[in-house]
Amino acid sequence: MKQDYIIVELAHSLHGRMKRIHIPHRFVYSALCAVAVLMLGLFGVAGSYARMASKVANYNTLLHEAQMLRARYDNLQKKVKQTNEQLASLQMLADEVTTAYGMKKTLAGSPDLIAEGPLVPTMRETLAEYNYLRTTNLASRGRNIFSRANVNILPAAWPINGRLMGGYGERNDPFSGEGAMHTGIDISAPVGTPVKVTADGVVIHSSWNGGYGRCVIVDHGNGYQTWYAHLSRMDVVEGQEIRQGDIVGQVGATGRATGPHLHYEVRIRTTPVNPYRFMQRSLALKAAPISDFPF
């Protein structure tokens, strides 16, 4: 007769008594199944932990590599910035020397083709003609007259009277808190303060410009540009020729601005340079007589 249970005999070592325990097969099978399930669960947890540890190790490795690449990128950015500033300074010096010695710049193209062109000039033609007429006019004058005119060629003036609240160079972004390059200077002034162009030129942009908000860009020829950003309103149109001291707009807080102020930039060949150098130049030009400038 087949038994459906297991007999376990227990003997006491001192009294010699025997005790039999009948354990049904189903309990034995249930216990074995429970142990198997427990072992499988432990193996699964161990496998998941191993996979998670591997992923964490890979993430830490990638994070370290990303930090190293970011550091290399920042170093390269600094080197590029320094190179661009050096090129811009050399370009500024070359332009000053070229203008000082009266070297003329001719317009490209055949006179016949120019005569057959449209009656209304394009933006590029307006800038080219402006540069040519200005250079020719300066080259035909004497030294004293040139010195006076030269004040209006480079952006040597303050666009508004106000407190300098943000300088040119590296700083913490007021929105993200991370390090960022500030490509101009910020001058604090009440909303509606008139903003004046700092040199003669032609307006090439007068509309919304992303984080700059309402922005006016003036081309002064020979690669020089000035930017006037965060304006509350713009009082010039694209293609308009303006003179130093003309009003281009009013101070505001449009775009990425934390309060009313003017963001002012000077660019040479599209490279931002420190505007304060030109603003200091304007103070020197006002303080010194014309005869003090060598040629």
pLDDT one-digit tens code per residue, 174-185: 666 666 788 889
The single residue listed with the structure tokens 């984080």 is: 211
Does the model's pTM come out above 0.85? no
pLDDT confidence of 139, banded at 50, 70, 90? Answer: very low
Residue 122's pLDDT is 55
Residue 10's pLDDT is 66
- Let me know whether 219 and 113 are in one domain: yes
214-221 and 224-234 strand pairing: antiparallel
Mean pLDDT on 263-279? 88
- Let me know whether 174 and 263 are in one domain: yes
pLDDT confidence of 264, banded at 50, 70, 90? Answer: very high
Residue 202's domain is classified under what CATH number? 2.70.70.10
- Let me know whether 76 and 121 are in one domain: no
- Let me know whether 75 and 110 are in one domain: no
Residue pair 17/11 in contact by the 8 Å Cβ criterion:
yes
Which tens digits make up the pLDDT trace of 186-221?
A: 999 999 999 999 999 999 999 999 989 999 999 998
The single residue listed with the structure tokens 């710049």 is: 105
- Let me know whether 156 and 229 are in one domain: yes
Mean pLDDT on 11-36? 73
Dist. CA 149–CA 8, nearest whole Å: 117
The single residue listed with the structure tokens 């020719």 is: 136
Over 60: is that where the pLDDT of 149 sits?
Answer: no
Residue 95, in any domain of the structure: no
Q: Would you give the end-to-end CA distance of the chain in angstroms?
A: 128
pLDDT confidence of 92, banded at 50, 70, 90? Answer: low
- Which among 59-63, 96-100, 196-200 has the top mean pLDDT? 196-200
Its sign, for the CA torsion 239, 241, 242, 243, is positive
Percent residues over pLDDT 90 in the chain: 25
- Let me know whether 162 and 263 are in one domain: yes
- The dihedrals phi and psi of 131, each to the nearest 5 degrees, come to -60, -40
Domain count, the chain: 2
Which residue range(s) make up the domain with 59? 1-81
